[in-house]
Amino acid sequence: NEEADTKVAHSLFFIFNIPRASLALARIGILYFIGYAVFHGKLTLTDFTLAMTILLMFETFLLDSVETFKNSTKEFSTIESLWETIDN
């Protein structure tokens, strides 16, 4: 039972942290490419601001979705534990 709990904990760690790592890499990439274009006169500072705003909105939505999923799984685990306690 402890082994199964450990596997679940490791799985949940990756499920919840992969989106954060992916977004951090995406932000670095976007900052690099848009910053490069701004410094070479291909884009304006307004374009840079727009791109970062869109990324921030997407990032907020994705991270809120992950948090909602995490909270619902915690609640389900709590209910499951209560059922096991009542059954015993």
CA–chain centroid gap for 8, Å, is 18
Encoded tokens for 38: 């701004």
3-state secondary structure (DSSP) of residue 40:
coil
Residue 34: how many CB atoms within 10 A of its CB? Answer: 20
Question: Max Cα separation, the chain?
Answer: 70
Which of the two residues, 70 and 32, has the higher pLDDT score?
32
pTM of the shown model: 0.60
Percentage, residues of the chain above pLDDT 90: 8
The whole-angstrom separation of Cα 58 and Cα 61 is 5
What's the confidence (pLDDT) of residue 1?
A: 64
